Structure 1
Amino acid sequence: MSDGRGTAHAGGRPSDGSALGSAPAADHGPENLEDHGLRVALLGPLQVWRGSTAIDVSSNRLRTMLAALALSASNTVTVEQLAFALWPDDPPAHQRRSVQTYVSRLRRVLGPAAIRTVRGGYRLDADPDDVDVLRFHRLLARAAASRGTRAERERLEEALALWRGAPFGGLPSSTLCGPKAVRLVEQRLSAVERWIDLGLAEGRHNELVAEVQELALRHPLREPLWERLLLTLGRCGRQAEALAMYERLRHRLADDLGVDPSPELQRRHLSLLADEERPATSPTPCMLPVAVAGFAGRDDACERMDRLFDGDTRICVVSGTAGVGKTALVLHWAHRARAHFPDGQLYVDLRGFGPSAAATSSHDALPALLTAMGVPPQAIPAETRARAALYRTVLAGKRMLVVLDDARDAEQVRRLLPGDAGCAVVVTSRQGLSSLVASEGAALLTLDVLTREEARDLLARRLGRERIATDPAATDEIIELCARLPLALAIVAGRAVARPLSPMAALAADLRRVRDDLGVLATKDSLTDMRAVLARSYDALPPDAARLFRLLAVHPGPDVGEAALASLAGLHAPQVSELLDTLLDAHLVGETVPSRFSFHELLRTYARGLARAGDTSAHRRAVLRTIEHYLHTTYRAALLLDPAAQLIAPDAPAAKVRPEHLRDRGQAQAWFRAERVVLFRVIRLAMAEGLHPHVVRLALAVTVWCDLEGDEQGKTALEILALEAAGRSGDHAARGRRQLHESGQARHTGR
């Protein structure tokens, strides 16, 4: 084995490992004048600094003692261990006294506080990260934890840059320069080989070939390095040179050791003879579909994708609700980023939520991808695992973009992920694909509906800025009726293009029917028909989650808390929480603020249509549970605000109604603040359902909150609603009318 001379790799380029030749490496250099700690370099001739000052340790035994202490920096080294390092073959008769003598001498060189006397021995007062051997080990561990990412290569380069020559160079210690040094050199060579593999995976064979050749010649009997040399030369198209190198090694092994090359080297030799390592001449695949014309907005999302793939990210999942423009964004970004993927761009429509029931399996997707990369159809294996292995092999060493569009779940995607760090993958899905985030380290980019400005820009690009400027109010109404959803806006824009003489106000008037019927946004193409697009997300739900989605239409909105959902659905809170997770993952509801949920108006219209077409009696029971939830919770909250308030106590809650248990005035105030808009809508819902006594009771309770907030407008509206309900309910609300009258008098007298 060689002397272990270093090969550092700063910025991916080879050097002689001089980073520690005159100063500590990386962020531990002497240029940091504020740092006066001790630094020790052992990966080469021993060097030591305190701050920016180099310290000369001339005595061989003192140098050996310092090395032994530095290898256990911040940990105790026993007297016996130090004695063995200093006198491995002939220890002195009084080794403790002799060790003490050398410790005293070393303190005079390093400083009196540099070595501490502790129970059982001595301890060097140095940060382990300031000892290059210990830092080397830490960086290798961090690289292993980052396996398969750009960070792994960067950490390996940082670790290898610490080497300046043979470890413990010049120390006359067999304990250090023996097995310890051999083990360190082996670790360095293994790190170098992994670094070469990462470079080859990134397609940098032309950059690596000179260095790999130098390393192999420096280590003439290390077969793994020679195998990498043959592979690198082959990929550079230098087959003849690679074959000559193999013969050189074969003769060396036979003459020096009397053995043949390893089976791995022999297989590499055969592949060279078959010319299998020569770079493929197949055309660069460019499978991206055409980008969406008139694409608007999403600048922040595009910039985030740029940042993700400029960093360590290899996989990005773009998720969001149906029609939010996931594919449009990804194709727009992918076309813009083509130059970053010179080896090609692959695309497959997985049809996870397509019009047909059957999604595209990875087994069926792989042949098209392999064929695009030049694999003959007859060479594509029949078995899925073998296809996936061939796919990863063909992608190895390339810088390609893989777009996996409309994935149903993570399992559909996994076999289509390259194993190579040089490739990037973008997955679009209506699901969050959280398992890809957890197990594959994928980044998650969730798209919301467009901002009003982005929606206006989309219409302007499709219709022309002059047309939308003729009636800004109608344009804004169209944007809101479309819930700022890109697909809905595109449908309306398409109709407007087909009717160039129709004013924006007429388009808006026609679109108002969308509040009750999604048929307004119907098209002849099931890929763009709004009801069909939303149905494909709904149809993928399990039955319990589908039921909760339908029942959400019962709630008057604009948002709903988890406790109210439990009453609405007649379920316990843990059940509702689990179903909400399913709906959130499918992007059929959104969490507007923590623990409050809603969906955009087109989803509300769709859910309302499902509820109307379903079990009307179940729908009616959910309405009653919802109203009673707010009736009982409001009554409790009002009494917490004003225990003397004159309220009408409600009857016992109906079955499966679970009012919220507010404990104090602060919780009551927070609840009213969150539910104010909802409460006014619930009162109107109760009026529409003919539940007039409930209206009166709710109005009285909410009036307590309005009094506290000084909300005269809200209080007046409640009084009008309650008086109307009291009038309709006859004798049942006589008490309510009286209390409303007293409440009105109290308001005028400033109670």
Structure 2
Amino acid sequence: MEAWREDARVEVGTPRNRAVLARLLLSRGKVIPLDRLIDDLWQGEAPPQALSSLRTFVCQLRRVLEPRAEGRTAPSVLVTEPGGYVLRVGDDEVDSGRFERLFRQAAEGRDPATALRLLDEALGLWRGPAYVEFAGTLWAEGEIARLEELRMTAVEHRLDALLSLGRHAEAVPELEVHARAHPMREEGWRLLALGLYRSARQGDALGALRQARSYLAEELGVDPGPELRRLEADILSQTASLDLPRAVETPRVARPVEEPQALVRCLGRDELLSVTGAALAGAEAGTGRSVVFEGAPGSGRTQLLRAAEALAQVRGFRVAHARTHPLEQDLPYGVARQVFEPILCAMPEAERNQLLSGVAAPAAAAVWDNAVAGPGATHALYWLAVRLAERGPLLIAVDDLQWCDPESLRWLAYLVRRSQRVPVVVAATRATGVAGPEALDELCSLLGPVKLGSPPRQAVETLAAELLGGAQDPGLIEGALRLTGGNAFLLTEYLAAGDRQDGCPASITRWTADWLRKAGTGAVRAAKAVALLDGPAEPAAIAEAAGMELDELAAALRTLVELGFLAEDAPVRFTQPVLRQAVLADLPQNVRWLVRTGAGATV
């Protein structure tokens, strides 16, 4: 049982205080008579002083729930009514209430993507079993069982949404755990079998249904319900209704759209998204072209790529997505595997074999076992993309090209140079200032670079109004722009965290540390030294603070400039003041104390 006030956790008090609060929460908005409350709290064995003790607990709770009202105004949250007490809090002020609202919204909608988003948010509110402290009490039993049933149903609805979106690779492992942890829930077995079937694992799907049948027979002495029996018959006959819904499995007929219906913020840079729209239209007309969004870390590259994916889906394109990572740079054809594996797994075996036959056959090794793909894989992967595009236009979206493996870079270049022959568009992002494989620059020149700058002032005002509610003081906008330099990520996180005159939002601190780590040890030490000195300083002073030789420091500073963290001109300084705050926030507390006192420090 936890209570929060203005994003800060407050101590409720003794176990008895928490029990009073929990009991009132179960009946929030309704008056609980004193005798009923006393009977529940002491489970029918109340001591003589129970009433006075209860009043003491209530007074202590009021100090926690309404500290400003104490002694000045009548309580408005924990209210005394004739014959009892009532807790007046809104549903959204209680995690269980918010969870139920989000769950209802997800259940009422028909869009699996929206349902998945709502259910992820709802399930994220759970920090453990509901009312776990009071699991042995009669008054909490019913509510505990009700909330647990809702949680289990929400988990199953979420997994169902993943399957509806074709994300079997994510759903099946979770379903394996869920079905075996809760074997009496037939819906878990049904979803597991369906996910396995759509992953081209028909035998495993039937095996899961046999396990369900065996468990129900041995433990309960019953046969599976009609849903499981129908699913088993449909799998055996390979009924077409088991395949993905048409909206996911088969691209819709392309139709012109006047405005990009992006599902993410473009921050006033819709003209950049129109480049993708032109590329998609060109692919439909047989004159395809591709695009790469280039910009400093945090410039909004990924947001524009997501918007491009949404626009492609509206136009009836099949969208295949891949995201690179430094740890996967040495995996041959890793990006190609991300692109094709989900599509192929969702297909019936006969259709998949047809796609991977003939000239495309070597692509199977790249997709299923990227360690043994032979020299013909590049051409085979090209033909695999062609065959998919023949069934409907295809968008291949690759985030963070700078960490793409060399084999996938060669395949993408091979595909882009021949993209005018087929309705295929490659849309990608690249973080400037980050070193990549030798072929990276050549591929980006083929894709057609689109440079990202800062969002316009009007877009920043709109963003602030959206995040903070209504029009904001121009001074806040000016301060946010000054501290963040108009960087899209920094600006969004800064505004979302509120007006931060002191300190730095934790999300920005983590983000800055992550990019510095990727830039290398030298860049980390140089950034810390510049942050500590914070002002015009000779290179020798920075090198001394960083414990680096001058030539080593020069290379590190050059990396930070290319990354967009340091300004190009003298003196050496951060491009955005919030970055210095973030670097300092990541330093040990004693080092930051030295900075505040002006004593200096060495990293």
> Would you say same fold, with TM above 0.5?
no
Larger of the two Rg values belongs to structure: 1
* Higher RCO structure, 1 or 2 (CA under 8 Å, sep 6+): 2
TM-score in terms of structure 1 length? 0.32
